[in-house]
């Protein structure tokens, strides 16, 4: 394999390792605020994976929305629900051992299936800027989901406001 | 690489000269093709990154000098004039002060968060420097989606500010951090929608593309002259971006008389220096973005023949907009936080939505009219 | 360059991220940490969508179903995080705890 191929694979492994490390930190850290910051690291890692998959628009939207809005929301909620006695427990509830066993089995199963299915591949080279086509498609083929998501966001806005006010 | 292109376009010519020298050097050693292109990529990229990392703090230092002089003159005093002629060495004295001050870390702080916050504030700002176009073909990278990238880097600042406020074991810092985060996310919407108006007019999200589309009218076909949409969009962008970077009149989160120093109360020495660096570099970036999308950036008369003029145009327009920011600082009082939220959500957001509706309808009618005219003529 | 990283790498990364998120949703004590696990699962699923779009579409430029779906997943994740966190804040106000083991009024 040529040099560019080797470099691509090395970069993929680095990014994947960092993303998984941040994800493990999110679910294992005792301090919830630190776990929230590790979640931000995971979001950056996922944005890097999108860049490697040549979906640049989605990568920037991921940073803008997940890190600029959702992560801020999570951190605000962590701040507003801090208890007076922090960090006295392990952060895991009573069923963590069973969950770990079941999920390891699930991952093993999924991994074996992924390796064995003969995936139908159609890889072609993307030469042009794909964002104009995305815009056209959003407003023609996918217009109905677009409008439904707008109504959903309106309902969310009103609902969250009503639930969270004093 | 004749002498004329060297004179009219110095920086790009030097870059290409170094690149061809390195290619021939690598060819002499025996590497060529794939390996050579990878090595060249890293070396030239490293060179560009070094130049940016040297230019950015220098820009920031002389912006602080400009601010102190301009605000002083507006307040009928002289400003720094002891350290070097006209106080030009004052920023160097400030840097030495920041580097040598004691770094006090209070007792109950969350150490990793407290340490990381200044770094997370500075990183998106310096990343934004990579996509700015300083002249014709003189940007570090030319992304297809530069404007969206700049907006995304602006929104990462929310996390950093919140980390700074929450990590310091200090109620004033926490309130300052919360207010700053709320302010940034509230004013992201008008800022993004004002940029969306320009994207509608230009048909492209690339910063270079938007600048190139403003080349009509002998280099003066800037988007701010597209009445009535241009000036309104510029005004909204300027207000929203000033609120995004927490500058006067929207600087309540760091107000000295209200919140001690807001989210950077507990920072001293170089960590505070990093917050200070980030604030001034942010000011430069939004002035540069406004100059590029509303005033044409490096576009101007004769810029195709003498590309070096593009650098002069870009910096001239950016310094003009920075001067407007400093003018705000010297003249306007601070806005209260509830007035700020009120203004953002109840006035700017509906105004910007109406502006986009108007622009889109106008563009559609204009294109329909053009089609009608060409079908008449044909 | 896109042919150098096989599809299987992306799919296994997505499966691993999904399982980590599922562990967070099942085994954590703080309700907000459970919501963070759910966000991890949604991100993993998005990676899957985009990987299949890139490696499986006949015409990735004209048929961007993968990216559009991922975009809608991000939007719905934002909506769900907002409502979920509003609920958590409301529960904190009335019961003064966000420990999932103590919010058990519906248990028999």
Hey, is the C-beta of B32 within 8 angstroms of any chain A C-beta?
no
DSSP state of A92: B
Q: What is the pLDDT of residue A38?
A: 96
Q: What angle do CA A14, A15, A19 make, to 5 degrees?
A: 120
Q: Which of B80, B100, B120 is the last residue of a domain?
A: B100
Q: Are the C-beta atoms of C20 and A27 separated by less than 8 Å? A: yes
Hey, is the C-beta of C81 within 8 angstroms of any chain A C-beta?
yes
Instruction: State the Rg of chain B over Cα.
Output: 23
| Neighbour tally for C108: CB within 10 Å | 3
Q: Express each pLDDT in C25-70 by its tens digit.
A: 999 999 999 999 999 999 999 999 999 999 988 888 888 899 999 9
List, in sequence order, every residue forming a beta bridge with B139; answer none if it has no partner.
Answer: B133
Contact pairs from chain A to chain C, CB under 8 Å = 238
Q: What is the pLDDT of residue B260?
A: 65
Pick from B212, C30, C1: which is nearest to A31 by CA?
C30
User: Do B184 and B223 fall within a single domain?
Assistant: yes
Instruction: Find the domain containing B213 and state its range.
Output: 105-377
User: Do B219 and B297 fall within a single domain?
Assistant: yes
d(CA A58, CA A47): 8
User: Do B62 and B162 fall within a single domain?
Assistant: no
Mutate to test the interface with A, among C86, C96, C97, C99 (most CBs of A within 10 A): C86
User: Do B93 and B206 fall within a single domain?
Assistant: no
CA distance, residue A121 to nearest chain C CA (Å): 5
Q: Are the C-beta atoms of B293 and B214 separated by less than 8 Å? A: no
Q: Are the C-beta atoms of A93 and A65 separated by less than 8 Å? A: no
Q: Which two tokens stand for residue B32?
A: 């060529």
Residues in Cβ contact with B128 at an 8 Å cutoff, skipping those fewer than 6 apart: B149, B150, B153, B154, B285
Contact B158 A72 (CB under 8 A): yes
Which of C19, C30, C51 is closest, CB to CB, to A32? C30
Burial of residue A38, with CB atoms counted within 10 A of its CB: 0-12 exposed, 13-18 middle, 19 or more buried: buried
Question: In which residue are the tokens 């990093």 written?
Answer: B274
Q: Is the pTM of this model over 0.95?
A: no
Q: What is the pLDDT of residue C7?
A: 92
Q: What is the pLDDT of residue B314?
A: 93
Number of domains in chain C: 1
d(CA C83, CA A112): 37
C53 in a domain, yes or no? yes
Contact A130 C61 (CB under 8 A): yes
d(CA A91, CA B74): 56
Instruction: Find the domain containing C23 and state its range.
Output: 2-95
List, in sequence order, every residue forming a beta bridge with B133; answer none if it has no partner.
Answer: B139
Q: What Cα–Cα distance (Å) separates residue B66 from each residue in B63, B327, B330? A: 5, 11, 12
Q: Are the C-beta atoms of B208 and B139 separated by less than 8 Å? A: yes
User: Do B60 and B151 fall within a single domain?
Assistant: no
Query: What CATH code is carried by the domain that includes residue C54?
Result: 1.10.287.3510
Q: Which of B68, B100, B132 is the last residue of a domain?
A: B100
| Neighbour tally for B364: CB within 10 Å | 10
User: Do B62 and B130 fall within a single domain?
Assistant: no
Chain A residues in contact with B145 (beta carbon < 8 A): 56-57, 60, 131
Chain B residues in contact with A153 (beta carbon < 8 A): none
Q: Are the C-beta atoms of B201 and B355 separated by less than 8 Å? A: no
Please count the residues of chain C: 108
CA quadruple B56, B58, B59, B61: dihedral sign: positive
d(CA C41, CA A65): 16
Q: Which two tokens stand for residue B320?
A: 């003009």
Those chains having 3 or more beta-carbon pairs within 8 angstroms of chain B are A
Q: What is the pLDDT of residue A85?
A: 52
User: Do B167 and B32 fall within a single domain?
Assistant: no
DSSP state of A147: H
User: Do B159 and B186 fall within a single domain?
Assistant: yes
Give the DSSP letter string of chain C: -GGGS-HHHHHHHHHHHHHHHHHHHHHBSBHHHHHHHHHHHHHHHHHHHHHHHHHH-SSTTT--HHHHHHHHHHHHHHHHHHHHHHHHHHHHHHHS--BTTT--TT--
Per-residue pLDDT for chain B (378 aa), expressed as one digit of tens each? 578 777 778 888 888 888 888 888 888 887 777 788 888 888 998 999 999 999 898 989 999 999 999 999 999 998 888 888 888 888 888 889 888 888 888 888 888 999 999 999 999 999 999 999 998 888 888 889 999 999 999 999 999 999 988 888 888 888 888 888 999 999 999 999 999 999 999 989 999 999 999 887 787 888 888 878 899 999 999 999 999 888 878 877 776 556 566 777 788 888 888 988 899 999 999 999 999 999 988 888 888 888 888 899 999 999 999 999 999 988 988 888 888 889 999 999 999 999 999 999 999 999 999 999 998 876
Instruction: State the Rg of chain C over Cα.
Output: 18
Give the chain A residue nearest C25 (alpha carbons): A27
Q: What Cα–Cα distance (Å) separates residue A22 from each residue in A15, A46, B167, B210, C9? A: 11, 11, 20, 37, 18
User: What is the three-class DSSP state of A5?
Assistant: helix
HSE-CB at A155 with a 13 A cutoff on CA atoms is: 9
Q: Which of B100, B124, B145 is the last residue of a domain?
A: B100
Chain A residues in contact with B200 (beta carbon < 8 A): none
Confidence tier at A87 by pLDDT (50, 70, 90): low
Q: What is the pLDDT of residue B255?
A: 67
Pick from B98, B55, B49, B99: which is nearest to B281 by CA?
B55
Number of domains in chain B: 2
d(CA B77, CA B231): 33
User: Do B138 and B263 fall within a single domain?
Assistant: yes
CA distance, residue C107 to nearest chain A CA (Å): 15
Q: B228 preceded by cis ω (within 30°)?
A: yes
- Residue environment code for C16-37, b if the CB has 16+ CB neighbours within 10 A, otherwise e: bbbbbbbbbbbbbbbbbbbbbb
CA quadruple B241, B114, A164, A146: dihedral sign: positive
ipTM: 0.92
Give the chain A residue nearest B161 (alpha carbons): A72
C63 in a domain, yes or no? yes
Chain B residues in contact with A63 (beta carbon < 8 A): 152, 155-156
User: Do B36 and B169 fall within a single domain?
Assistant: no
User: In this model, does residue A42 exceed pLDDT 90?
Assistant: yes
Question: In which residue are the tokens 């707008």 written?
Answer: A150
CA quadruple B144, A46, C76, C89: dihedral sign: negative
Chain A residues in contact with B34 (beta carbon < 8 A): 2-4
Q: Are the C-beta atoms of A30 and A11 separated by less than 8 Å? A: no
Q: Express each pLDDT in A94-130 by its tens digit.
A: 889 999 999 999 999 999 999 999 888 887 878 778 8
d(CA A75, CA A98): 29
Which 3-state string (H, E, C) describes chain B? CCHHHHHHCHHHHHHHHHHHHHHHHHHHHCCCCHHHHHHHHHHHHHHHHHHHHHHHHHHHHHHHHHHHHHHHHHCCCCCCCCCCHHHCCHHHHHHHHHHHCCCCCCCCCCHHHHHHHHHHHHHHHHHHHCCCECCCCCECCCCCCHHHHHHHHHHHHHHHHHHHHHHCCCHHHHHHHHHHHHHHHHHHHHHHHHHHHHHHHHCCCCHHHHHHCCCHHHHCCCHHHCCCHHHHHHHHHHHHHHHHCCCCCCCHHHCHHHHCCHHHCCCCCHHHHHHHHHHHHHHHHHHHHHHHHHHCCCCCCCCCCCCHHHHHHHHHHHHHHHHHHHHHHHHCCCCCHHHHHHHHHHHHHHHHHHHHHHHHHHHHHHHHHHHHHHHHHC
């Amino acid at each position: 394999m040529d040099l560019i191929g080797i470099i691509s694979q090395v970069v993929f492994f680095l990014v994947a390792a960092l993303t998984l490390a941040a994800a493990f930190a999110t679910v294992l850290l005792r301090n919830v605020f630190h776990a929230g910051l590790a979640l931000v690291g995971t979001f950056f890692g996922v944005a890097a994976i999108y860049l490697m998959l040549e979906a640049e628009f989605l990568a920037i939207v991921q940073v803008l929305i997940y890190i600029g809005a959702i992560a801020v929301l999570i951190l605000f909620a962590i701040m507003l629900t801090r208890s007076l006695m922090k960090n006295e427990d392990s952060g895991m509830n009573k069923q963590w051992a069973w969950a770990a066993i079941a999920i390891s089995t699930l991952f093993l199963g999924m991994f074996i299936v992924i390796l064995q299915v003969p995936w139908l591949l159609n890889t072609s080279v993307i030469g042009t800027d794909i964002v104009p086509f995305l815009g056209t498609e959003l407003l023609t083929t996918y217009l109905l989901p677009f409008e439904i998501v707008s109504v959903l966001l309106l309902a969310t806005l009103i609902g969250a406001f009503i639930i969270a006010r004093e | 690489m004749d002498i004329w292109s060297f004179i009219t376009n110095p920086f790009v010519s030097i870059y290409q000269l170094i690149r061809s020298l390195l290619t021939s050097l690598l060819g002499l050693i025996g590497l060529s093709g794939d390996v050579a292109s990878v090595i060249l990529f890293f070396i030239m990229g490293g060179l560009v990154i070094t130049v940016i990392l040297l230019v950015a703090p220098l820009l920031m230092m002389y912006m602080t000098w400009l601010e102190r002089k301009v605000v002083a003159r507006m307040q009928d005093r002289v400003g720094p004039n002891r350290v070097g002629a006209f106080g030009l060495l004052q920023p160097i004295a400030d840097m030495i002060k920041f580097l040598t001050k004691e770094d006090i870390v209070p007792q109950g702080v969350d150490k990793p968060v407290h340490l990381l916050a200044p770094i997370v504030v500075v990183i998106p700002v310096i990343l934004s420097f990579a996509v700015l176009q300083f002249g014709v073909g003189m940007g570090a990278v030319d992304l297809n989606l530069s404007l969206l990238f700049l907006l995304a880097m602006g929104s990462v600042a929310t996390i950093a500010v919140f980390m700074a406020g929450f990590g310091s074991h200090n109620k004033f810092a926490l309130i300052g951090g919360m207010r700053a985060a709320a302010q940034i996310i509230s004013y992201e919407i008008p800022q993004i929608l004002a940029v969306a108006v320009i994207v509608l007019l230009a048909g492209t999200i690339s910063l270079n593309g938007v600048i190139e589309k403003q080349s009509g009218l002998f280099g003066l076909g800037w988007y701010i002259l597209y009445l009535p949409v241009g000036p309104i969009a510029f005004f909204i962008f300027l207000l929203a971006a000033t609120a995004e970077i927490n500058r006067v009149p929207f600087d309540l989160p760091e107000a000295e008389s209200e919140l001690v120093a807001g989210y950077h109360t507990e920072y001293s020495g170089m960590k505070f220096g990093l917050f200070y660096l980030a604030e001034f570099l942010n000011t430069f970036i939004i002035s540069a973005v406004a100059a590029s999308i509303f005033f044409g950036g490096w576009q101007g008369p004769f810029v195709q023949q003498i590309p070096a003029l593009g650098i002069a145009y870009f910096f001239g327009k950016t310094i003009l907009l920075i001067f407007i920011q400093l003018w705000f600082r010297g003249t306007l009082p601070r806005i209260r936080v509830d007035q700020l939220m009120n203004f953002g959500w109840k006035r700017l957001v509906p105004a910007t939505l109406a502006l986009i509706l108007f622009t889109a309808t106008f563009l559609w009618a204009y294109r329909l009219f053009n089609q009608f005219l060409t079908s008449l003529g044909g | 360059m896109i042919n150098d990283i096989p599809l299987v790498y992306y799919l296994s990364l997505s499966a691993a991220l999904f399982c980590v998120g599922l562990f967070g949703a099942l085994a954590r004590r703080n309700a907000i940490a459970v919501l963070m696990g759910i966000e991890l699962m949604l991100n993993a699923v998005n990676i899957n969508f985009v990987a299949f779009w890139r490696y499986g579409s006949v015409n990735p430029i004209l048929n961007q179903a993968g990216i559009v779906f991922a975009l809608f997943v991000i939007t719905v994740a934002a909506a769900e995080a907002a409502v979920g966190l509003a609920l958590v804040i409301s529960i904190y106000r009335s019961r003064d705890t966000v420990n999932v083991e103590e919010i058990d009024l519906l248990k028999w």
